[in-house]
Amino acid sequence: MFTPGSREGYQDVIDKIRMKTTVYGAHTLMAEFRLQAGAELPLHRHPHEQTGYLVAGRMELTIGAQTHAVRPGDSWCIPGEVDHGAIVLEDSIAVEVFTPVREDYLPAGD
Protein backbone atom coordinates (compact mmCIF):
# COMPACT_ATOMS: atom_id res chain seq x y z
CA MET A 1 0.00 0.00 0.00
CA PHE A 2 1.20 3.51 -0.80
CA THR A 3 -0.47 6.67 0.46
CA PRO A 4 0.57 10.08 -0.88
CA GLY A 5 0.84 12.93 1.62
CA SER A 6 -2.22 15.12 2.08
CA ARG A 7 -3.42 17.89 4.38
CA GLU A 8 -6.89 16.31 4.37
CA GLY A 9 -8.40 13.38 6.24
CA TYR A 10 -7.84 14.43 9.86
CA GLN A 11 -10.46 13.48 12.46
CA ASP A 12 -11.03 14.79 15.97
CA VAL A 13 -9.93 12.27 18.59
CA ILE A 14 -10.59 14.43 21.64
CA ASP A 15 -10.51 18.19 22.24
CA LYS A 16 -7.39 19.71 20.61
CA ILE A 17 -6.17 16.37 19.20
CA ARG A 18 -6.66 15.38 15.57
CA MET A 19 -5.36 12.31 13.77
CA LYS A 20 -5.34 10.60 10.43
CA THR A 21 -4.30 7.13 9.44
CA THR A 22 -1.48 7.47 6.93
CA VAL A 23 -1.00 3.83 5.93
CA TYR A 24 -1.72 0.34 7.23
CA GLY A 25 -1.04 -3.28 6.41
CA ALA A 26 -1.94 -6.70 7.74
CA HIS A 27 -0.12 -6.21 11.06
CA THR A 28 0.60 -2.50 11.59
CA LEU A 29 -1.12 0.86 11.26
CA MET A 30 0.61 4.26 11.16
CA ALA A 31 -1.13 7.47 12.16
CA GLU A 32 -0.17 11.13 12.33
CA PHE A 33 -1.40 13.16 15.29
CA ARG A 34 -1.73 16.95 15.39
CA LEU A 35 -1.88 18.06 19.02
CA GLN A 36 -2.61 21.62 20.14
CA ALA A 37 -0.90 23.21 23.12
CA GLY A 38 -2.97 22.60 26.26
CA ALA A 39 -4.41 19.29 25.08
CA GLU A 40 -4.57 16.53 27.67
CA LEU A 41 -4.75 12.89 26.67
CA PRO A 42 -6.01 11.16 29.81
CA LEU A 43 -4.40 7.96 31.03
CA HIS A 44 -5.77 5.04 29.06
CA ARG A 45 -4.75 1.60 27.83
CA HIS A 46 -5.43 -0.66 24.87
CA PRO A 47 -4.13 -4.03 23.68
CA HIS A 48 -2.00 -2.51 20.89
CA GLU A 49 1.73 -1.95 21.13
CA GLN A 50 2.31 1.71 20.25
CA THR A 51 5.60 3.06 18.91
CA GLY A 52 5.92 6.80 18.36
CA TYR A 53 8.17 9.64 17.24
CA LEU A 54 7.78 13.35 17.99
CA VAL A 55 8.25 15.33 14.79
CA ALA A 56 7.62 18.80 16.25
CA GLY A 57 6.53 20.44 19.49
CA ARG A 58 6.90 19.48 23.12
CA MET A 59 4.88 17.37 25.54
CA GLU A 60 4.97 15.31 28.71
CA LEU A 61 4.31 11.63 28.07
CA THR A 62 3.43 9.27 30.90
CA ILE A 63 4.05 5.56 30.33
CA GLY A 64 3.17 3.42 33.31
CA ALA A 65 4.66 5.14 36.38
CA GLN A 66 7.20 7.28 34.46
CA THR A 67 6.70 10.73 32.94
CA HIS A 68 9.04 11.86 30.17
CA ALA A 69 9.76 15.35 28.78
CA VAL A 70 9.40 14.73 25.03
CA ARG A 71 11.08 16.92 22.42
CA PRO A 72 11.41 16.62 18.62
CA GLY A 73 13.40 13.54 17.65
CA ASP A 74 12.41 11.59 20.78
CA SER A 75 10.68 8.24 20.38
CA TRP A 76 8.83 5.73 22.57
CA CYS A 77 7.36 2.26 22.62
CA ILE A 78 4.37 1.51 24.83
CA PRO A 79 3.55 -2.16 25.38
CA GLY A 80 -0.09 -3.22 25.08
CA GLU A 81 -2.23 -2.90 28.22
CA VAL A 82 0.07 -0.29 29.85
CA ASP A 83 -1.51 2.96 31.07
CA HIS A 84 -0.30 6.03 29.17
CA GLY A 85 -1.31 9.62 28.56
CA ALA A 86 0.11 13.02 27.61
CA ILE A 87 0.01 16.73 28.31
CA VAL A 88 0.80 18.83 25.23
CA LEU A 89 2.99 21.83 26.08
CA GLU A 90 3.39 23.22 22.54
CA ASP A 91 1.58 22.56 19.27
CA SER A 92 2.98 19.17 18.28
CA ILE A 93 3.08 16.55 15.55
CA ALA A 94 3.61 12.90 16.41
CA VAL A 95 3.72 9.81 14.21
CA GLU A 96 2.73 6.51 15.82
CA VAL A 97 2.60 2.89 14.71
CA PHE A 98 0.19 0.41 16.27
CA THR A 99 0.29 -3.37 16.20
CA PRO A 100 -1.97 -5.19 15.74
CA VAL A 101 -3.91 -2.85 13.46
CA ARG A 102 -6.30 -0.59 15.36
CA GLU A 103 -9.63 -1.33 13.71
CA ASP A 104 -11.07 1.91 15.14
CA TYR A 105 -8.41 3.90 13.21
CA LEU A 106 -9.11 2.36 9.80
CA PRO A 107 -10.44 4.88 7.27
CA ALA A 108 -14.19 4.76 6.69
CA GLY A 109 -15.12 2.16 4.11
CA ASP A 110 -11.98 0.03 4.64
Contact 72, 106 (CB under 8 A): no
Position 15 pLDDT exceeds 80: yes
> What pLDDT, in 10s, does the model give residues 63-104?
999 999 999 999 999 999 999 999 999 999 999 999 999 999
Confidence of residue 110 (pLDDT cuts 50, 70, 90): low
User: How much is the pLDDT for 61?
Assistant: 98
How far apart CA 17 and CA 78 sit, in angstroms, is 19
Q: What is the DSSP letter of 42?
A: E
What structural domains and CATH numbers belong to the chain?
A: 11-103 (2.60.120.10)
